[in-house]
Amino acid sequence: MLIRAENHADRVAADDVYRQGFGVEGPKVAGLVGALRAMPPSACDLALVAEEDDRVVGSVLCTRSLLDAPRELVDVAVLSPLAVTPALHGRGIGSALVRTVIEEMSKTAVPLLFLEGDPAFYGRLGFLAGGPLGFRKPSLRTPDAAFQVVKLPAYQAWMTGTLVYAREFWDNDCVGLR
């Protein structure tokens, strides 16, 4: 398996992985992906694919959102969505994508990486519940345990507050899916 940056030619295959991976929510998530790709570029952006036997079998996006901190607004990254071809679940593809995201985002000036997801899966990859660390979730529809964060090397102790999702998450009704 190869983890690499997504290129334009990968998008159709990656979109198919998102549709399959999210089942009945697949069309909604595919709409979100299109909207996130259309956002103005930022330092928070990262799009990766997992490739096996010359085909895309996993995909992940990170995009810019904001942390409404007491001192100032802070650009932060949101890891969403992440999907793996369902027939290949349990083989470490999703974990490899997330580890690569953390590694790559750690090389940037981005201080925090947020997500909504299963704490049993993401917790073993370094994510912690956001609430006890001083972060407030962006929506009541997000379960407390699903609201998670990784502090990256650029993090400073004053960076606490409310996560404010990019408009694209709201426009596509993709807040609180987990």
The pLDDT, as a whole number, for residue 159 is 98
Q: What's the residue count for the chain?
A: 178
CA atoms within 13 A on the CB side of 68: 8
The pLDDT, as a whole number, for residue 26 is 86
Task: Give the span between the Cα atoms of 12 and 8, in whole angstroms.
Answer: 9
Query: Which residues are paired to 172 by β-bridges?
Result: none
- Residues of the chain with pLDDT > 70: what percent? 99
Cα–Cα distances (Å) from 66 to 116, 119, 163, in that order, read 15, 22, 6
Closest CA to 29 of 20, 39, 19, 37: 19
Cα–Cα distances (Å) from 18 to 5, 84, 92, 145, 148, in that order, read 16, 7, 17, 23, 21
Please count the other Cβ atoms lying within 10 Å of the Cβ belonging to residue 132: 8
Q: Strands, DSSP E only, in the chain?
A: 2-5, 46-52, 55-68, 73-84, 112-116, 128-129, 135-136, 147-151, 161-164
Q: Which tens digits make up the pLDDT trace of 119-176?
A: 999 999 999 999 999 999 999 999 999 999 999 999 999 999 999 999 999 999 999 8
CATH numbers and ranges of domains, the chain: 2-171 (3.40.630.30)
Give the mean model confidence (pLDDT) for residues 85-106: 97
**Token pair listed for 68:** 């409404």
SS3 of 162, please? strand
Token look-up 């609201």 returns 147
- Do residues 43 and 62 touch, judged by C-beta distance below 8 A? no
The pLDDT, as a whole number, for residue 112 is 98
pTM value is 0.95
Q: Which tens digits make up the pLDDT trace of 36-50?
A: 999 999 989 999 999
